[in-house]
Amino acid sequence: MAILGVVGMIIPIISIARKERGSVTFYAAIAFAALFISLVFVLSQVWSENISPAAIFSDDVLVDDTFGSLFAIAMLIVSIFTVIGSLNYIRKQANPAIYFSLILLSSIGMVLVAYSTDLVMLFVAWELMSLPTYILAGFAKKNPASNEAALKYFLFGALSSAIIIYGISLAYGVTGSTNIGEVIQGFATADASLMPLALLSVGLFIAGFGFKMGLVPFHMWLPDTYEGAPTPITTLLAAGTKKAGFAAALRIIVMGAVALNLDWTAALGVIAVMTMIVGNIAAIMQKNLTRMLAYSSIGHAGYILIGLAIAPYTSLGIQGSLLHILNHAVMKGAAFIAATGIIIVLATTHLDKIKGLGRRMPITSLGLVISLFALAGIPPLNGFWSKLILFGAAIDSGSVIWWGPWLAIAGVLTSALSLAYYGWITRKMYFEGEKEKRVKEPKSIIAVMIFAIIFIVGFGVYPEPLIHFAETAVPALNSGLIP
């Protein structure tokens, strides 16, 4: 992993040494190489099973486990998408070296969040992930939309990290440690008089991570930021940093709440249902493809949260969440990169302007449609399997909690709703407009689309390896630590 940080810091130095004459392609190639080497390294570790089983706790600050590796794979794939998608997008911008350097620093931050088992490490990694993205969101500094996006994102992001550090300070005060394992053990054995502080701490964690995950009611910054930021950066935010929020939430909130023995699952269930409904209903009313994808990504945070809400009742819950996190990273990443391609060619993603896109940009359109149908959960695409496991687990948990099946019902209904607006986009692209001529599509976008189509269809037809991988990445709840 260290390669990401080292290369990320070296790129600006190379740029100064070359008197800032390096081309976008040159810096993108360096960034791509660093990310690709890291991805191959993580994959080879998983492949050779030379890695500890999913452990939430460790005496060290970082743990190299399957749980973190699953997130690392998703995040590195998304970062590679971002770097490739940026190739044609940022040619007009100044400082390409800084741009790619910030992407690398942000991706090492995300990966470290996924691996960290100590609250101090987690917080530092969280900030390493967030700070570059604030700058990246405002990178088009002559563009008012990008500016506004960055400022809103910064204010809410700074609030979320302030809340997280307050939560950490309370957790430290109650338990006297910052190691996640010891904190959770400390919560479980804490004195009754300290309970309010422990509860406040978990509540602040939910709010702080919820901002990054885009859960309702912490989602108001998200559509504006996703629409205004440069679209490749939106890919990084929607498919990357959001997943880091889930990694931290799984390690802290789910485990902490199990330790506190709270009736917290109902609260997460309510947030999940609200998130699914608000995200999908708001998406229907949008007139802009990026904004619609932003709301749909809020809705998907709700689907992933189903698994967290039912975690104590069935192990399938977290397995479904992890699988959906991996799938959603690829699907949503591909959809936003397709939107990037559309912006490069048409300079807009307004839905009225994409009529007949299927004839103008056939490969980009095909990639977009396949990722949209995968997001809606149409078989035999990979999104179908993760939703199947999530909803199946929710129905399964009905034997313990009465509201479990209702999560599945809300999920199925909102998925059907999402099919309506995905289908609407598809109709506009393929069945409206006439006589459009085929235009030249950027090669970088085509490369991402082809990879995404192979991934989505491939793991849709043959999902066993991914399902098995997600199963090995499920951490054991109550792994002998809690008395």
Partner 1 sequence: MSNELIEFVLVSVALLGIGIYGLSVKRNAIRMLFAVEIIVNAANLNLIAFARFMPHSGGQTFALFSIAIAAAEVAIGLALIIVAYRMYQNVDIADFRSLKG
Q: Which is nearer to partner 1, 50 or 193 (CB)?
A: 193
Alpha helices, DSSP H, located in 347-361: 357-360
Joined together, the tokens standing for residue 86 give 């940026």
Instruction: Residue 398: name the closest of 263, 269, 267, 264 by CA.
Output: 269
Handedness of CA 347, 349, 354, 358 (dihedral sign): positive
Is residue 95 a contact point for partner 1 (CB under 8 A)?
no
Contact residues for 447 (Cβ-Cβ < 8 A; gap 6+):
84
Buried b (16+ CB within 10 A) or exposed e, 332-352: bbbbbbbbbbbbbbeeebebe
Residue pair 244/212 in contact (Cβ under 8 Å)? The answer is: yes
363 in contact with partner 1 (CB under 8 A): no
The answer to the question of residue 415 lying near partner 1 (CB under 8 A) is no
* Nearest distance, CB of residue 231 and partner 1, angstroms: 14
Q: Which two tokens stand for residue 116?
A: 């960290």
In the list 30, 104, 149, 466, the residue contacting partner 1 (rule: CB under 8 A) is 149
Please tell me the distance from the alpha carbon of residue 468 to that of residue 388, in angstroms, as a whole number: 15
Contact 315, 440 (CB under 8 A): no
Binding test (CB under 8 A) with partner 1, winner from 13, 18, 94, 176: 176
Give the number of C-alpha atoms closer than 13 A to the C-alpha of residue 335, restricted to the C-beta side.
29
Q: How far is the CB of 473 from partner 1 (least distance, A)?
A: 29
Q: Judge contact between 69 and 42, C-beta under 8 A.
A: yes
Q: Does 170 bind partner 1 (CB under 8 A)?
A: yes
Which of the stretches 51-59, 124-132, 381-389, 464-472 binds partner 1 when contact is defined by CB under 8 A? 124-132
285 sits near partner 1 (criterion: CB under 8 A): yes
Tokens describing residue 93: 């911008």
Please tell me the total number of residues recorded for the chain in this structure. Answer: 483
d(CA 33, CA 126): 24
Q: Which of 219, 291, 300, 387 binds partner 1 (CB under 8 A)?
A: 291
**166 counts as binding partner 1 under rule CB under 8 A:** yes
Alpha helices in 48-179 (DSSP H): 66-89, 96-115, 119-137, 144-175
Does residue 120 bind partner 1 (CB under 8 A)?
yes
Interface segment toward partner 1; rule CB under 8 A; list 60-68, 105-113, 165-173, 355-363? 165-173
**At its nearest, how many Å lie between partner 1 and the CB of residue 178?**
6
Of 188, 194, 322, the closest CA to residue 250 belongs to: 322
Closer to partner 1 by CB, 29 or 151: give it: 151
Q: In sequence order, which ranges of 263-315 are alpha helices (DSSP H)?
A: 265-284, 289-309
Minimum CB separation of residue 60 from partner 1 in Å reads 15
Does the footprint of partner 1 cover residue 134 (CB under 8 A)?
Answer: yes
The count of residues interacting with partner 1 (CB under 8 A) is 46
Q: How far apart (Å, rounded) are the C-alpha atoms in residues 107 and 384? A: 28
Subset of 181-210 contacting partner 1 (CB under 8 A): 193-194, 197
Nearer to partner 1, 161 or 364 (CB): 161
Query: Which one of the spans 88-96, 142-150, 369-377, 393-401 is the region binding partner 1 (CB under 8 A)?
Result: 142-150
Based on the shown chain and the rule CB under 8 A, indicate whether residue 151 belongs to the binding site for partner 1: yes
Q: Choose the stretch contacting partner 1; rule: CB under 8 A; options: 28-36, 64-72, 162-170, 451-459.
A: 162-170
Does 274 bind partner 1 (CB under 8 A)? Our answer is no
- Distance in Å, CB of 437 to partner 1, minimum: 31
CB of 71 to partner 1, least distance (A): 22
282: nearest Cα among 308, 302, 309? 302
Question: Which one among 177, 203, 274, 359 touches partner 1, defined by CB under 8 A?
Answer: 177
- Select from 69, 88, 101, 161 the one that contacts partner 1 (CB under 8 A): 161
The rounded distance, in Å, linking the Cα atoms of 3 and 108 is: 9
Q: Which is nearer to partner 1, 73 or 354 (CB)?
A: 354
By CB under 8 A, tell whether 112 contacts partner 1.
no
Q: Tokens 């019902």 belong to which residue?
A: 409
CB 239 within 8 A of CB 328: yes
| Residue 284 is a binding residue for partner 1 (CB under 8 A) | no
Please answer whether residues 81 and 333 qualify as being in contact, where contact means their C-beta atoms are separated by less than 8 angstroms: yes
Which residues, numbered 212-241, are part of the site for partner 1 (CB under 8 A)? 223-224, 227-228
First to last CA, the chain: 35
Let me know: does 236 contact 82? Beta carbons within 8 Å. yes
Q: Which residues of the shown chain bind partner 1 in the complex (CB under 8 A)? A: 120, 123-124, 127, 131, 134-135, 138, 141, 144-145, 147-152, 154-155, 158-159, 161-163, 165-166, 168-170, 172-173, 176-178, 193-194, 197, 223-224, 227-228, 285-288, 291
